């Protein structure tokens, strides 16, 4: 009898990383507040990119004839004490605010993660030295430390980014150190080390990918702190300099007209509140979604 060949379907095993990402996304979707925060952040990013090309007025154009005008069909958010359109300035200032937040958090994350992972992996005297430096930085309130740094460097947009980035370093370093201490005790790390892998390979190939979850959550939450701190520095006159349409500086200008033209301070203040709230609620939802205890 002729032999018959049976072809069984070949099934590809699911990628663990893809499945893990799907599970995180599924849990994140269940958190309605986090979804709203995520959409708001996406909206802010899109507006900061394309919004400046469609604003009705030049953010620096002065019109003293129409100064301190209230909200109207022509000027949606009114005008400031120089007659500049507040809506156009807020749209242009959104890109500045997100620019400060992103790059200051990036600086803090890169330096903090490097210090934290080296401290947690090697331990000993190196761990003690790095953590004592972080303790010194943590001894100062965040806004006070940033204020001291930017006072030394001088008031400018780039110096604000540097100062906020430096005061963000200890938070990343301590979180990454704690996660690294747990990961380095796992058996597969000992196996990789026994096979002759270098410290560099172990750290960046095996340890770092396993501590990314707390880094991502901390970066998201830190964005809100960075935006708030940068706005505070600009409010004190140590951040973006006039006529840059930075929200903190706009809020500082509007405080002199709180009773006569409250809209001058109201709209920049609301913009800061909404952005900070969006990053906070999205970061909280992301933290819950990435929590290993919630995995099924």
Report if residue 125 sits inside a domain: yes
Alpha-carbon span 82 to 66, nearest angstrom: 8
Report if residue 46 sits inside a domain: yes
The parent domain of residue 88 ranges over 30-50+77-294
Report if residue 11 sits inside a domain: no
pLDDT of 102: 92
pLDDT of 273: 92
Residue 71 CA, distance from chain mean position: 32
Report if residue 194 sits inside a domain: yes
| pLDDT by position in tens, the chain (length 296) | 455 555 555 555 555 666 666 777 777 778 788 888 889 999 999 999 998 888 888 888 888 888 888 888 888 888 888 888 889 999 998 998 899 889 999 999 999 999 999 998 888 888 899 999 898 888 887 778 888 888 888 778 888 889 889 888 999 999 999 888 888 877 877 788 788 878 788 888 888 888 888 888 889 889 998 998 888 888 888 877 778 888 888 888 888 888 888 888 899 999 999 999 999 998 888 887 776 555 44
Name the 3-class secondary structure at 89: helix
Q: Which residues contact 141 (CB under 8 A, 6 or more apart)?
A: none
Report if residue 21 sits inside a domain: no
* Cα dist from 174 to 25, 129, 186, 239, whole Å: 27, 13, 20, 28
Report if residue 7 sits inside a domain: no
The dihedral through the CA atoms of 99, 104, 107, 108 has a sign that is negative
Report if residue 92 sits inside a domain: yes
pLDDT of 296: 44
- For 205, the token pair is 């190939």
pLDDT of 249: 86
Residue 218: which CATH number?
1.10.3720.10
Alpha-carbon span 255 to 81, nearest angstrom: 11
Counting the structural domains of the chain, the total is 1
């Amino acid at each position: 009898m002729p032999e018959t060949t049976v072809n069984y379907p070949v099934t590809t095993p699911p990628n663990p990383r893809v499945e893990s990402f799907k599970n995180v996304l599924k849990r994140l979707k269940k958190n309605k507040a986090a979804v709203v925060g995520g959409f708001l952040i996406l909206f802010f990013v899109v507006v900061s990119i394309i919004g400046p090309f469609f604003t009705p007025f030049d953010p620096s154009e002065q019109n003293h004839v129409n100064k301190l005008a209230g909200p109207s069909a022509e000027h949606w958010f009114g005008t400031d004490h120089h007659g500049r359109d507040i809506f156009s300035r807020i749209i242009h200032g959104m890109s500045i605010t997100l620019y400060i937040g992103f790059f200051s958090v990036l600086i803090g994350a890169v330096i903090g993660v490097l210090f934290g992972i080296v401290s947690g992996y090697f331990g000993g005297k190196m761990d003690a030295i790095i953590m004592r430096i972080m303790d010194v930085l943590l001894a100062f309130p965040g806004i006070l430390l940033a204020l001291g740094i930017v006072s030394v460097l001088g008031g400018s947009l780039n110096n604000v980014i540097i100062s906020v980035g430096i005061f963000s370093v200890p938070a990343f370093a301590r979180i990454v150190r704690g996660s690294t201490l747990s990961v380095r005790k796992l058996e597969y790390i000992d196996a990789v080390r026994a096979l002759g892998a270098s410290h560099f390979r172990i750290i960046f190939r095996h340890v770092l990918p396993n501590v990314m979850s707390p880094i991502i959550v901390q970066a998201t939450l830190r964005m809100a702190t960075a935006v708030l701190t940068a706005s505070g520095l600009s409010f004190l006159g140590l951040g973006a300099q006039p006529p840059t349409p930075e929200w903190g500086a706009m809020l500082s200008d509007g405080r002199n007209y709180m009773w006569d033209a409250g809209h001058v301070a109201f709209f920049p203040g609301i913009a800061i509140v909404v952005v900070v709230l969006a990053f906070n609620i999205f970061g909280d939802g992301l933290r819950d979604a990435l929590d290993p205890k919630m995995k099924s």
